[in-house]
Structure 1
Amino acid sequence: MQPRIPRQSAGEQGVRPPDGTDADARFSPELSSVVSGARRRAVRDGDRQIDTAHLLHSLLEYDPEARAVIGEGPQLARLLGYLVQRSIGYGLRWQSTVEDSGAVPVVSGVAGLSPLAAAAMEDARARAAGRGAERARGVDLLAALVADPQARAVEVLGRAAVEPRTVLARVAGHLGTSSR
């Protein structure tokens, strides 16, 4: 029987392959940890794919820069509370479904990610390249996760009273760029 979520790549296990051989070489080491954490969370939750909510949860868990953009205090606590509840009730309706709004083209070759999560990863890379950075950071992924209003990450943010446009503006301010 094939596992529902593919095994971790060498890069995600902490073993760095030679340059030019890793498709995720455009991610910072911290962002690679985020993807690994999201994969573990998806497997533990019994989900078929890593979705944008898994990525958001892992991002807030592993990346202090992304947490700072969201803000401290009750808003962050409420958001993390909703993300934790996903595996014990909230979000169970997502199990055995594919996260896909139809608004973005399907990104092929990204095994284990929902179409929206794969598109967010590509968007994070594009955002980093747009500001001249070689590797995407957590804040690039955060901006990409909130860009599609149909993303599960956006639904969770809404339930926690975190406005996605505000998150985009905070990311832009943090990076010194314009939001898109």
Structure 2
Amino acid sequence: MQSPQSPIPRQSAPEPGARRADNDAGLGDALAPVIGGARRRAVRDGDRQVDTAHLLHSLLESDPAVRAAFGDGPRIARLLGYLVQRSIGYGLRWQGRVEDSGAVPVVPGAAGFSPLASAALEEARERAGRRGEQAGGTDLLAAILADPRARAIEVVRRAGIDPREVCPLIGDRPGVTEECGETGR
């Protein structure tokens, strides 16, 4: 008996020498459960692609440093509550549409990450690479917060949190906070 195939399949390995923003290489062991959780959430929500809000939701569930960046318990509860609302109803407004950066053409019906989620993953990889490390949760959070067009930013704002307040709380790791929030939100 064959198992049902996910509408958002795990990406296959790239050809040697090819560069793919959708793959998990260089993201580190800490982000493996985040990527897996975001993929499952997108499938469960009926979304065509994994977007930055899926990544944020998964980060909050799995990374204590990311939760700490958002401050106290009531703020986290409000943010998680909003993310859950999005997944059970609010997200319907976004279903069928791709989170688009405008920088690359969107391929209709393509599975995988939205253009902004792909860019955030690549940015997290690059941030960590500058330190000679693999990417972690705070790298991905900083990358997500660096793009004001990200759905995750809309979710954070709707939860009553200013994304610029989160950047200094990410931590004092070099290369993480310098670029977070520099987009003039």
- Using structure 1 for the length normalisation, give the TM-score: 0.81
2:32 is matched with which residue?
32
CA apart distance, 1:106: 6.4
CA apart distance, 1:169: 2.4
2:74 is matched with which residue?
74
Moved more, 144-153 or 84-93: 84-93
Cα distance in structure 2, aligned partners of 1:157 and 1:80: 10
Q: For residues 50-90 of structure 1, what are the alpha-carbon distances to aligned partners after superposition, in whole Å with 9 as ceiling and x for unaligned?
A: 00000000000011111111122111110000000112222
CA apart distance, 1:2: 7.3
CA contact 1:51–1:114 (8 Å) conserved in 2: yes
Q: How many residues align?
A: 164
CA contact 1:4–1:49 (8 Å) conserved in 2: no
Task: Find the residue that maps to 1:65 and give its secondary structure.
Answer: helix
Q: Which sections of structure 2, spanning at least 5 residues, go unmatched?
A: 14-22, 180-185
Cα distance in structure 2, aligned partners of 1:154 and 1:116: 12
Structure 1 runs (4+) greater than 6 angstroms displaced: none
Task: Find the residue that maps to 1:175 and give its secondary structure.
Answer: coil
2:120 is matched with which residue?
120
Give the aligned residue type for 1:79: L
Q: Which sections of structure 1, spanning at least 5 residues, go unmatched?
A: 11-22
2:44 is matched with which residue?
44
Cα distance in structure 2, aligned partners of 1:106 and 1:64: 35
Give the aligned residue type for 1:4: P
Give % identity.
63
- Write out aligned runs for 1:130-145 (5 A): 130-133=130-133, 135-145=134-144
CA contact 2:8–2:49 (8 Å) conserved in 1: yes
CA contact 2:8–2:43 (8 Å) conserved in 1: yes
2:164 is matched with which residue?
165
Matched, 1:5 2:19: no
Matched, 1:146 2:145: yes
